Amino acid sequence: MGLISELPDMAMPLKDGSHPCLILNADYQPLNYFPLSLWSWQDAVKAVFLDRVSIVEHYSQEVRSANMSMLLPSVVALKDFVPQNRSPAFTRFNLFLRDGFSCVYCGNDDELTFDHVHPRRLGGQTSWDNIVAACTKCNLKKGGRTPVEAGMVLTRAPAQPSIYELQAQGRRFPPGYLHESWLDFLYWDLELQT
């Protein structure tokens, strides 16, 4: 915070939200997949100056001050490894990610929505172990019934994933795949109601 003001005469021709920088942990995996760890270019430049990160890739866009110029980093890696032992947030995105962006009943990947395996009318909770990704078709077919009642088979038993499991899944959906959806993260990161 405030680094740019500590860098005298740094020209700021860029919009604040432009040129986000992907943050990798010291093992070169994204620090977070979901939300994807991104910094503003200002914070990325700050971290470079504080010697906290190594530049992995950069944009062609330059920033200049009176004494220096640098290409804006697009990917940086932290020099100190940040241990990751927290539980993943119960968000739409993480839930879809856990289920590989496909319906747990039929495997389809379009028109995904959420399904309460044990229906709400029977007291089913909105939780990691009762919510699955399902296509709209299967969701409508199942209605307010249990899978057994509906004659439908879950291909995966829902459970809270570890951050490592989500990260492994995240590698199937690398940042390039997600780039256009960054703007949607405000949506994706909403905590599901419990």
Number of C-beta neighbours around residue 40 at 10 A: 16
Residue 10 as a binder of Zn ion (CB under 5 A): the answer is no
What CA–CA distance (Å, rounded) separates 11 from 8? 9
Instruction: Please report, as a single letter, which amino acid is at residue 21.
Output: C
CB of 132 to Zn ion, least distance (A): 10
Using CB under 5 A as the binding rule, whether residue 135 contacts Zn ion is answered as: yes
Q: Does 106 bind Zn ion (CB under 5 A)?
A: yes
**CB of 182 vs Zn ion, minimal distance in Å:** 27
Bridge-based pairing state of the strands 69-78 and 53-64:
antiparallel
Of 175, 34, 180, the residue nearest 96 (C-alpha):
34
Applying CB under 5 A, the span of 35-43, 119-127, 138-146, 172-180 interacting with Zn ion comes to 138-146
Nearest to 185 by CA among 71, 40, 38, 80: 38
User: Does 3 engage in binding with Zn ion (CB under 5 A)?
Assistant: no
Closest to Zn ion by CB, 69 or 155: 155
The secondary structure of the chain in percent helix, strand, coil, rounded to multiples of 5, reads 30, 20, 50
For the segment 49-88, give every residue that binds Zn ion (CB under 5 A).
none
As a whole number of angstroms, the distance between CA 145 and CA 9 comes to 65
Residue type, 146: T
Task: Name the segment binding Zn ion (CB under 5 A); options: 6-14, 61-69, 91-99, 135-143.
Answer: 135-143
Pick the closer one to Zn ion by CB: 146 or 162: 146
Query: DSSP code of 11?
Result: -
Choice between 46 and 142, CB closer to Zn ion:
142
Using CB under 5 A, pick the residue from 138, 152, 163, 166 that binds Zn ion.
Answer: 138
103, 112, 131, 166: which one binds Zn ion (CB under 5 A) = 103
Instruction: Choose between 156 and 179: whose C-beta lies nearer to Zn ion.
Output: 156
